[in-house]
Amino acid sequence: MNAISLSMLIQQFVTEQLDWTRAAAASIILFGTVLLVLAISARFLRIGQSGAR
Amino acid sequence: MQTRRETWLAMLTLALPLGMVLVAFVWPVAQFLSQAFQSEAGPLAPFAQLLTVGVYRKIFVNTMGLAAVVTLACVLIAYPVAFALHHARGVWFRVILYCVLFPLWVSVLVRTFSWILILERNGPLNRALVGGGLIDEPLKLLFSNAGVFLGMVHVLVPYAVLPIYTSLSRIDPHLLLASDGLGATPVQSFRRVWLPLSLPGVAGGAGFVFLLSLGFFVTPALLGG
């Protein structure tokens, strides 16, 4: 259990427990985290603005 | 100015790939994600369960922690490599560049399986450590966080090297000449010129590696057990 990651948990929900509801919920949490990290990066790195300086 | 015909042609050209993305990617993913809100216990029950049950919370924290450590290690390894790549000329430039790019051409699955051979209990790494007298008995490197960490760093380092190298290449060489002319030592030039100006590349590479680490599956699944 120590070295398990969120993507492995999603795979376990789908293939072993056949629990698509929780797999989808975990995917949304992972997706939300990625979007949050992207939003924070964009805020500090000024992604999308011409000339980063 | 774009004519009406050109606009229609552009829209028609985009229609096919856009339609394919919508049908083959957006629609199935949306269908899958919508299942999260179809629980009999309530639309937010699965989320509440995932965020409150200790085991799931631990997995989430473990994923974030591992991604952060892998990112830090990748940046620490990638910066000197990118720095060396920027300063290398001729054959050395090609050697370093191919050393960075070559792993990207080999399947992640193949590279991860090679790590299994290296990290196993009777693998070359454990044999070298025991043979060298550094440890008494073989370490449990496979199916542990250490194994996942090593495998992920190996796979993700090129993704940090390339943005940092690009950032270093954009630094105006006149600034370094000015720094040199003003009597700065190489260490001072690095600390006051190289490092601050390359930080956008470092942040970009770190962000890229962190995002890839969060959703990484093959390596943690094979090396984490």
A22 interaction partners in chain B (CB closer than 8 Å): 36, 46, 49-50
| Residue B41 touches partner A, C-beta closer than 8 Å | no
Residues 6+ apart with CB under 8 A from B140: B121
Q: What is the 3-state secondary structure (H, E, C) of B104-145?
A: HHCCHHHHHHHHHHHHCCCCHHHHHHHHCCCCCCCCCCCCCH
Cα–Cα distance measured from residue B133 to residue B88, given in angstroms and rounded to the nearest whole number: 38
In tens, the pLDDT along A6-32 reads: 888 999 999 988 989 999 999 999 999
Reported pTM:
0.83
Query: A37 vs B207: CB contact, 8 Å cut-off?
Result: yes
How high is the mean pLDDT of chain B?
89
B119 interaction partners in chain A (CB closer than 8 Å): none
Cα–Cα distance measured from residue A49 to residue B165, given in angstroms and rounded to the nearest whole number: 21
Q: For B61-91, give the DSSP string.
A: HHHHHHHHHHHHHHHHHHHHHHHHHHH--TH
Count of pairs with CB atoms under 8 A, one residue in A, one in B: 107
pLDDT of A49? 53
A49 interaction partners in chain B (CB closer than 8 Å): none
Read off the pLDDT of each residue in B101-126 and give the average, rounded to a whole number. 89
CA B57 to chain centre: 23
In tens, the pLDDT along B15-45 reads: 999 999 999 999 999 999 998 888 888 888 8
A37 band by pLDDT with thresholds 50, 70 and 90? confident
User: Is residue A47's pLDDT more than 60?
Assistant: no
B5 band by pLDDT with thresholds 50, 70 and 90? confident
Cα–Cα distance measured from residue B223 to residue B156, given in angstroms and rounded to the nearest whole number: 15
Chain B stretch 78-117, residues whose beta carbon is closer than 8 A to a beta carbon of chain A: none
Chain B residue with the nearest C-alpha to that of A22: B46
Q: For B146-162, give the DSSP string.
A: HHHHHHHHHHHHHHHHH
pLDDT of B222? 87
Q: Which of A1, A2, A5 to mutate to test the interface with B (most CBs of B within 10 A)?
A: A5
* Token pair of A13 as six digits: 């929900």
Dmax over CA atoms of chain A, in Å, equals 50
Length of chain A: 53
